[in-house]
């Protein structure tokens, strides 16, 4: 892993940008991206933290947009009732002044699985510039903070993920389960009646 960082660091910010795009376009088996950015900074402290944060946030956003559009493919296998339910949720968030922005910002600023969020956006066919703005701003702030304190936080997290995919696998499987649950919620009933009801699942036709 260190060899990859050293090779890409020679490409300066372009190498970091391309790596972040690739990582965020993948829904599974990826390290937290702040660890990647902090590792680059550790290898080459001449990197500017602000520019690292901006480049990282931009690469992460483009990767997540790619993931969002890939996720739209799975909508075609869903039943009409579930599609209608998700469309109602999309309209609800769109009508809220800061609905998409605040949701994306929250996921970007915290350890919440934002891959799950953008996969859900894809299935919902969400179209709103504020969801991208919220994610980019949240990521830029989070990256700046985490890189700035990486001398304290980086080693414990690297030890946690070293030679072990267990934590990543558990996170990814949990995210996939949450996506299925999210897609099965009857959002019309939840929004209008404040009742949590699930749409009866059907086997997706392949």
pLDDT tens digits, one per residue of 58-71: 999 999 999 988 88
- Local structure of 186: helix, strand or coil: coil
pLDDT at 203: 45
What confidence tier does 51 reach under pLDDT thresholds 50, 70, 90? very high
Q: Cβ neighbours of residue 137 under 8 Å, at least 6 residues apart?
A: 57, 105, 108
Average of pLDDT values for 183-196? 71
Q: Considering only 15-29, 81-95, 105-119, which range has the smallest mean pLDDT?
A: 81-95
Give exposure, 74-89, as e/b (b: 16+ Cβ within 10 Å): eeeebeeebbebbebb
Q: What pLDDT band is residue 106 in, cutting at 50, 70 and 90?
A: confident
pTM, two decimal places: 0.73
Per-residue pLDDT of 110-168, as tens digits, reads 877 788 788 888 888 887 888 899 999 999 999 998 888 877 766 555 554 554 555 55
Q: Is the dihedral of CA 142, 143, 147, 153 positive or negative?
A: positive
């Amino acid at each position: 892993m260190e060899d990859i960082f050293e090779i890409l660091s020679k490409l300066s910010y372009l190498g970091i940008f391309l790596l972040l795009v690739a990582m965020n376009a993948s829904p599974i088996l990826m390290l937290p991206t702040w660890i990647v950015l902090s590792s680059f900074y550790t290898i080459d402290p001449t990197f500017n933290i602000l520019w690292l944060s901006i480049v990282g946030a931009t690469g992460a956003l483009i990767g997540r947009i790619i993931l969002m559009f890939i996720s739209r493919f799975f909508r075609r296998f869903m039943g009409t009732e579930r599609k209608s339910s998700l469309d109602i949720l999309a309209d609800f968030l769109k009508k809220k002044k800061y609905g998409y922005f605040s949701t994306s910002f929250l996921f970007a600023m915290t350890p919440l699985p934002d891959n799950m969020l953008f996969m859900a956006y894809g299935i919902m066919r969400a179209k709103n510039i504020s969801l991208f703005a919220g994610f980019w701003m949240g990521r830029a702030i989070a990256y700046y903070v985490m890189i700035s304190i990486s001398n304290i936080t980086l080693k414990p997290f690297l030890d946690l993920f070293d030679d072990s995919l267990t934590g990543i696998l558990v996170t990814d499987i949990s995210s996939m389960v949450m996506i299925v649950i999210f897609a099965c919620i009857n959002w019309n009933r939840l929004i209008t009646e404040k009742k949590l009801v699930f749409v009866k699942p059907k086997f997706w036709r392949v």
